[in-house]
C-alpha cells in the first residue's frame, strides 16, 4: 500500500499499481469525473500515471488555471490530429495553450479558409466521439528524430535538436502522435465543446527571418453552455472594441505615415485625456506628491548605471549620436526620478519624498503584437516614485494602495483582484532578510486595507516584491492596471543615501508606483468598459443642442455660449437635416444629453432633454438643465 496526503492534510491509502484516476475515485466520483490531471508532490501528471511511493496529491480540474492550460493544450493536439487527417501534407510546428485558449502553427501549401476551419471542427467532433485514449510514452531522442524525419516533420526534428536529454516524451492518440511534455486529458472524448476562432500568420520561432506559418486559434470548454457563454462574451467584446469605437467617435488615430504603435490623440480623445490628467494632478498634490518633468532622452551612461543597457536593451531603440556620445530615448522614467532625488542632500526628516510624472516612454514591440491603444510603442505612464525609510514601508505601501483604489473607483471600477509577488528562487538583489521584511510590509499593508489578496510565489522582479491590482470591466474581463513595487536595486546602483538620526548615511527604499499604468492602455480599457458611453464628468461632449428650424439657430448658439461659460462641453447641430435624423445621429455618438430647442422652448426659456438610454424627452428650464449637468460633472 502507498499513503497519499491530500491538500487538507488528511490521508488515504491505495494499493500499489493504482493509477491516479483510481485513487481520485476513492475521494469521490464527481471529483473523479471532473479531474483532468493531478499534481504529485507538486508535479502535474496524467491520470493514468502510477505512483510508486507515498506522495501528496492535488486534483487538477478545469476550474484551476493549470487545468485550463492542460485542457486547451490537449485540444490543440486534437485540432492538429484533425488537420493531419484532412491535409496529410501539412507540417506540424507547435501548439501550446495560451492565456485564453490555444493555437497550433502549421506549414501548409495554401492558406486555411473559413470552410477549412468548419471541416476541421467537424473532424475534431468525430475524433472526440471516438473517445480515443491519449497515451504518454518516452522514446530515445535519436529514435524520435528518425521517426519525425521519415514523416517529413522537419519542425519537430529542429525542436528535438535543442533537447539535451537522451529520452523524449510523446503523446499518441490513435493514428496521431506529437512531441510533448504533457500532461494531457485521458481521452479525446474528454474534450467536449470547442470552437476554432481565426487564422493568423506567425513566423516560426517568432523570427521574421524564418518562414511564415499559419496559426489557427481556438477555444474549448468541458460543456457547451460555457462555450456558448464565451462566444456571447466575445461578440460583446467586439461591440466594445476600442479601435472601432475610437474611429467612430474620432477619439484617436494610428497613421502609417507617423508609424505603427504611435498614437495620435484626436480632439475628443485629447479632451478626455486632459480631464484624466487634471484630476490626476489635483489628487497627487493632495496626497503629498511633487510633480516633475524629465527629458525624453538620456546619455548612455545613465542607462548603464540603471542596468537597462544590460537587462532591457532589446526593448530600447537604437542610440542617436549627440556630440560624439550615445543618447537613448527613455524606456522608463525611474533613472530620471533618482537623479532628481540626488540633486539635493536628504535627511531622514524629509521622508517620504514622492515624485510623480506623466512621463512618455518608448519601447520596442514587434509589429505583430501591436494592438490599438492596448499595445503600443510610445506611451505615457502615470509614474511615481516614493523614497522612504525601511520603517516607513508599510505606511507608504498602504497609502499608495489606497490611492490606487480611490483612483480606480473614480473611473468606475468596483471589482478587483490583488496579488503579492514574492522573492524569486534564484536571481534577486538584496538580502533575504530585507526581502522578508519587505514582503511582510506588503502583507501588513493589505491586511490593514481590509482587502483580500493572493500570494504569487516567486513572481517578484529581481529587484523587489510587488503588489499588482487587476480590475474587472463591465463584461467581467480582468485588466492589470496598478502596480506598487519595492526596489532595492536602483538605490544601490545610483548610490543614493540620506542622513539618518545617527548622523550616518543610509540607503533609502524606493517604491515604483503606477495607478493607471499607461494613459494609452488605460484609455483603451475605459472605452471598452463604458462601450464609448462615458460618464458625464469624462464625456468629451456632454450635450448636443439641436434646433427644430432655422428660427431657433440663434437661440441654440446663445444656449451653447451660456453653457460653455459654465465650463460645460457642448456641441450644436444646425445642419439642414431633419430633426429626427439629427437626434439619431446625436444618440449614436453616445453623448449623455441631447437638447432640442423649438419655438415653444425658446419662448418658455426651456429645453426638451433626452437622457442617454431613454426615448422619453423631459422638458425643463435652461437653468435646471445646466444645474443637472453641473451636478454630474464631478
The one-character DSSP state at 113 is P
Neighbouring C-beta atoms of residue 161, cutoff 10 Å: 9
Q: Please write the tens of the pLDDT for every residue from 514-532.
A: 999 999 999 999 999 999 9
Specify the pLDDT at position 415.
94
- Please state the separation of Cα 193 from the chain's center in Å: 26
Specify the pLDDT at position 425.
85
Instruction: Choose between 296 and 310: higher pLDDT.
Output: 296
**Cα 461 to Cα 422: distance, rounded to the nearest angstrom:** 8
The answer to whether residue 334 is catalytic is yes
Specify the pLDDT at position 64.
93
Whether 456 and 443 have beta carbons less than 8 Å apart is answered as: no
**Cα 181 to Cα 183: distance, rounded to the nearest angstrom:** 6
Q: Does residue 431 carry a pLDDT above 90?
A: no
Q: What is the pTM of this model?
A: 0.84
Q: Please write the tens of the pLDDT for every residue from 340-387.
A: 999 999 999 999 999 999 999 999 998 878 899 999 999 999 999 999
Q: Domains plus CATH for the chain?
A: 2-61 (3.10.20.30), 66-231 (3.30.980.10), 252-294+333-530 (3.30.930.10), 543-631 (3.40.50.800)
Whether 82 and 129 have beta carbons less than 8 Å apart is answered as: no
Termini Cα distance of the chain = 69
Q: Does residue 429 carry a pLDDT above 80?
A: no
Q: Please write the tens of the pLDDT for every residue from 64-122.
A: 999 999 999 999 999 999 999 999 999 999 999 998 999 999 999 999 999 999 999 99
Specify the pLDDT at position 164.
86
Specify the pLDDT at position 505.
95
Whether 240 and 475 have beta carbons less than 8 Å apart is answered as: yes
The answer to whether residue 69 is catalytic is no
The answer to whether residue 487 is catalytic is no
Q: In 3D, which of 353, 279, 263, 305 has the Cα closest to residue 489?
A: 305
Work out the angle at residue 574's Cα, subtended by the Cα atoms of residues 572 and 576, and round it to the nearest 5 degrees: 150
The answer to whether residue 466 is catalytic is yes
pLDDT band for position 598 (cuts 50, 70, 90): very high
Mean per-residue pLDDT, 442-463: 90
Q: Which residues contact 43 (CB under 8 A, 6 or more apart)?
A: none
Q: What percent of the chain has pLDDT over 70?
A: 100
**610 class by beta-carbon count within 10 Å (0-12 exposed, 13-18 middle, 19+ buried):** buried
Taking the CA atoms of 558, 559, 562 and 563 in sequence, report the sign of the dihedral they define: negative
Q: Does residue 337 carry a pLDDT above 80?
A: yes
The answer to whether residue 381 is catalytic is yes
Specify the pLDDT at position 169.
94
Longest C-alpha distance within the chain, in Å?
95
Facing residues of 247 across strands? none
Q: Does residue 460 carry a pLDDT above 80?
A: yes
Q: Which of 381, 392, 542, 560 is catalytic?
A: 381
Instruction: Choose between 324 and 208: higher pLDDT.
Output: 324
Whether 72 and 191 have beta carbons less than 8 Å apart is answered as: no
Q: Which of 77, 242, 385, 529 is catalytic?
A: 385
Instruction: Choose between 621 and 464: higher pLDDT.
Output: 621
**574 class by beta-carbon count within 10 Å (0-12 exposed, 13-18 middle, 19+ buried):** middle
Q: Is 119 left (phi over 0), alpha (psi -120 to 50) or beta?
A: alpha
Mean pLDDT, the chain, integer:
94
Q: Please write the tens of the pLDDT for every residue from 275-289.
A: 999 999 999 999 999
Whether 79 and 121 have beta carbons less than 8 Å apart is answered as: no
Mean per-residue pLDDT, 327-332: 96
Q: Which residues contact 3 (CB under 8 A, 6 or more apart)?
A: 11, 12, 13, 54
The answer to whether residue 385 is catalytic is yes
What cell numbers appear for 226 in the block?
460555457
pLDDT band for position 432 (cuts 50, 70, 90): confident
**If residue 121 lies in a helix (H) or strand (E), which one and from where to where?**
helix 114-130
Q: Which of 512, 582, 590, 610 is catalytic?
A: 512
Neighbouring C-beta atoms of residue 386, cutoff 10 Å: 27
**Cα 194 to Cα 48: distance, rounded to the nearest angstrom:** 24
Strands 606-611 and 593-597: antiparallel
Q: Which of 308, 363, 521, 590 is catalytic?
A: 363
Q: Which of 180, 334, 388, 543 is catalytic?
A: 334
Count helices and strands (H / E) in the chain. 20, 33
Amino acid at each position: 500500500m502507498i499513503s497519499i496526503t491530500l491538500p487538507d492534510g488528511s490521508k488515504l491509502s491505495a494499493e500499489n499499481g493504482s493509477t491516479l484516476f483510481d485513487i481520485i475515485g476513492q475521494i469521490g466520483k464527481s471529483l473523479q469525473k471532473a479531474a483532468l490531471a493531478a499534481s504529485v508532490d507538486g508535479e502535474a501528471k496524467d491520470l493514468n500515471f502510477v505512483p510508486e511511493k507515498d506522495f501528496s496529491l492535488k486534483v487538477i480540474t478545469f476550474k484551476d488555471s493549470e487545468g485550463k492550460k492542460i485542457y486547451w493544450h490537449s485540444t490543440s493536439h486534437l485540432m492538429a490530429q484533425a488537420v493531419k487527417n484532412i491535409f496529410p501534407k501539412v507540417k506540424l510546428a507547435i501548439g501550446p495553450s495560451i492565456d485564453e485558449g490555444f493555437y497550433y502553427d502549421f506549414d501548409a501549401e495554401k492558406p486555411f479558409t473559413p470552410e477549412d476551419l468548419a471541416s476541421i471542427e467537424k473532424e475534431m467532433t468525430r475524433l472526440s466521439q471516438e473517445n480515443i485514449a491519449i497515451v504518454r510514452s518516452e522514446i530515445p531522442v535519436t529514435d524520435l528524430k528518425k521517426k519525425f524525419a521519415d514523416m517529413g516533420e522537419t519542425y519537430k526534428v529542429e525542436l528535438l535538436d535543442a533537447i539535451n536529454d537522451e529520452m523524449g516524451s510523446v503523446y499518441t492518440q490513435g493514428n496521431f502522435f506529437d512531441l510533448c511534455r504533457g500532461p494531457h486529458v485521458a481521452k479525446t472524448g474528454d474534450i467536449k465543446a470547442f470552437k476554432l476562432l481565426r487564422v493568423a500568420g506567425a513566423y516560426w520561432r517568432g523570427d521574421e527571418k524564418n518562414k511564415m506559418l499559419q496559426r489557427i486559434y481556438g477555444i474549448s470548454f468541458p460543456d457547451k453552455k460555457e462555450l456558448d457563454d464565451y462566444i456571447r462574451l466575445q461578440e460583446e467584446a467586439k461591440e466594445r472594441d476600442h479601435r472601432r469605437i475610437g474611429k467612430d467617435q474620432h477619439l484617436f488615430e494610428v497613421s502609417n505615415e507617423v508609424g505603427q504603435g504611435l498614437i495620435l490623440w484626436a480632439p475628443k480623445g485629447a479632451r478626455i485625456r486632459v480631464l484624466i490628467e487634471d484630476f490626476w494632478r489635483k489628487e497627487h498634490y493632495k496626497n503629498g506628491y511633487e510633480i516633475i518633468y524629465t527629458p525624453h532622452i538620456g546619455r548612455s551612461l545613465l542607462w548603464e548605471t540603471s542596468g537597462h543597457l544590460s537587462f532591457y536593451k532589446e526593448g530600447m531603440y537604437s542610440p542617436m549620436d549627440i556630440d560624439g556620445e550615445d543618447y537613448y530615448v527613455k524606456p522608463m522614467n525611474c533613472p530620471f526620478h533618482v537623479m532628481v532625488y540626488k540633486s539635493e542632500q536628504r535627511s531622514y526628516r524629509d521622508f517620504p519624498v514622492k515624485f510623480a510624472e506623466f512621463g512618455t516612454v518608448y519601447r520596442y514591440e514587434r509589429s505583430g503584437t501591436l494592438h490599438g491603444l492596448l499595445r503600443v510603442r510610445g506611451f505615457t505612464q502615470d509614474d511615481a516614485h516614493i523614497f522612504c525609510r525601511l520603517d516607513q514601508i508599510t505606511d507608504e505601501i498602504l497609502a499608495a494602495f489606497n490611492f490606487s483604489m480611490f483612483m480606480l473607483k473614480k473611473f468606475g471600477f468596483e471589482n478587483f483582484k490583488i496579488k503579492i509577488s514574492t522573492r524569486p528562487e534564484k536571481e534577486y538583489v538584496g538580502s533575504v532578510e530585507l526581502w522578508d521584511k519587505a514582503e511582510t510590509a506588503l502583507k501588513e499593508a493589505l491586511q490593514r486595507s481590509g482587502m483580500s489578496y493572493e500570494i504569487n510565489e516567486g513572481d517578484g522582479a529581481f529587484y523587489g516584491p510587488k503588489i499588482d491590482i487587476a480590475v474587472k470591466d463591465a463584461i467581467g474581463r480582468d485588466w492589470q492596471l496598478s502596480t506598487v513595487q519595492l526596489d532595492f536595486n536602483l538605490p544601490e546602483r545610483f548610490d543614493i543615501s540620506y542622513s539618518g538620526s545617527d548622523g550616518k548615511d543610509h540607503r533609502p527604499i524606493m517604491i515604483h508606483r503606477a495607478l493607471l499604468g499607461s494613459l494609452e492602455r488605460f484609455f483603451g480599457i475605459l472605452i471598452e468598459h463604458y462601450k464609448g458611453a462615458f460618464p458625464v464628468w469624462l464625456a468629451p461632449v456632454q450635450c448636443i443642442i439641436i434646433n427644430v428650424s432655422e428660427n431657433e439657430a440663434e437661440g441654440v448658439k446663445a444656449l451653447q455660449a451660456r453653457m460653455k461659460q459654465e465650463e460645460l462641453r457642448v456641441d450644436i447641430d444646425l445642419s439642414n437635416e431633419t430633426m429626427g435624423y439629427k437626434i439619431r445621429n446625436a444618440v449614436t455618438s453616445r453623448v449623455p444629453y441631447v437638447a432640442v430647442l423649438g419655438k415653444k422652448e425658446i419662448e418658455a426659456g426651456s429645453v426638451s432633454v433626452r437622457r442617454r438610454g431613454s426615448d422619453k424627452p423631459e422638458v425643463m428650464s435652461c437653468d435646471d438643465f445646466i444645474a443637472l449637468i453641473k451636478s454630474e460633472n464631478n
